[in-house]
Amino acid sequence: MRKHIVAGNWKMNNDLVQTQSLITELKKQSQTSDAEVMIAPTFTNLSAAFEALKGLEIEVIAQNMHFAESGAYTGEVSAEMLKSVGVQTVILGHSERRAYFNETDELLAKKVDAALANKMRVIFCFGEELADRKSDKHESIVENQIKKALFHLKASAFEQIVLAYEPVWAIGTGETASPEQAQDMHAFIRETLAKKYGQETANSVSILYGGSVKPGNAKEIFSKPDVDGGLIGGAALKAEDFYAIVNAF
Ligand code: PGA
């Protein structure tokens, strides 16, 4: 059975003290669902987050990484560096990385390879823009993003891959894909995986939805059969809201 996962992407929010105090608030919440819970603080606070979370089953993950092992890449962070502080999972391909830092599918393929070579798990993000959906190109856009960045992998590599469908028009906008739109796309993604890797592999991959998930809409979105969890931005910055979403399963 594939896992339920709820991951909080903190983006460029929370300094050291705010990271510690949000974790103190997270510790006061109780989990009633079976979801795996993750938080992605900024690089500078990863170690502090591990320290503050001791004893709690929340995985600390990273928001990004470089594909090279080390070298002259000013300002970048490698898989080895992440692993050295305990990080085992990295988010790659977030639409903000694609839009503001020009990350292409080709670059993301290299990052995915580097993460997998380091035995890290990847939460791979992709999704269409509003114009793509309006012109009915959303499925072909998503199919291309997945093919270009992931389809060079062997089926066994998908044990380490989690997919996150995040329609760009729904991220941070308050506008969510309807549960039906999410389900349709997730089913399409699973079908695309099945065509390439077979149904068994396709069924084993967790596909998260991201884009304005809130306590008020999480239950309905998560009730869809191909939605296996969520990548949560804004609502992950409030402990109570985040756990309301975690417990929506
Ligand atoms: P949002 O962000 O929940 O604030 O829309 C989701 C994301 O960017 O992963």
CA-only gyration radius of the chain, Å: 17
CA distance 207 to 180: 15
pTM: 0.97
Q: What is the pLDDT of residue 173?
A: 84
CA distance 40 to 24: 15
Which pLDDT score, from 0 to 100, does residue 1 have? 77
Name the β-bridge partners of 125: 164
List the catalytic residue out of 36, 59, 128, 166.
166
Which one of 4, 36, 59, 94 is the catalytic residue?
94
The pLDDT value recorded for residue 172 is 82
Cβ–ligand 1 contact at 175 (below 6 Å): no
Look up residue 137 and give its DSSP letter.
-
Is any atom of ligand 1 closer than 6 Å to the C-beta of 218? no
Nearest to 208 by CA among 13, 61, 49, 47: 61
Dist CA 62 CA 39 (whole Å) = 8
CB-ligand 1 contact for 232 (6 Å cutoff): yes
192-233 pLDDT, tens digit per residue, is 999 999 999 999 999 999 999 999 999 999 999 999 999 999
Distance, CA of 103 to CA of 215 (rounded, Å): 31
**Is any ligand 1 atom within 6 A of the Cβ of residue 211?**
yes
Q: What are φ and ψ of residue 175, in 5° steps?
A: -95, 125
94 an active-site residue? yes
Asked if residues 42 and 62 have their Cβ atoms less than 8 Å apart, the reply is no
Whether 166 is catalytic: yes
Contact in structure between 31 and 37 (CB atoms under 8 Å): yes
- For 74, the token pair is 């000013």
Give every residue of the chain whose pLDDT is below 70, as ranges. Answer: none
